[in-house]
Amino acid sequence: MRRRNRKTAMVAVREADGTGKNANIFLSGSRTFSVLGEGRTVQAKAGSFTDDFDRYAVHIYLEQ
């Protein structure tokens, strides 16, 4: 996770050996992130959000 100009950017990766498909991502506060290259957004409410990952998937989240 990186912060620049009061905005957060995160990279999340799913390993192939993992059994779960969902990831819970925790941070402080409630924010909206765009998912780079996927044309969608996710809402972090009360300090967390959940996202789906295929095998070897990489998601890059940029705070709006």
In the chain, the number of structural domains is 1
Say what the pLDDT of residue 50 is.
Answer: 95
Q: What is the pTM of this model?
A: 0.85
Say what the pLDDT of residue 15 is.
Answer: 81
Q: Tens-digit pLDDT profile for the chain (64 aa)?
A: 788 888 899 999 988 776 678 889 999 999 999 999 999 999 999 999 999 998 889 999 999 9
Q: SS3 letters for the chain? A: CEEECCEEEEEEECCCCCCCCEEEEECCCCEEEEECCCCEEEEEECCEEEEECCCCCEEEEEEC
Give strand pairing partners of 44.
31
Range of the domain at 26: 2-63
Q: Cα separations (Å) of 20 from 6, 16, 23, 24?
A: 32, 10, 8, 11
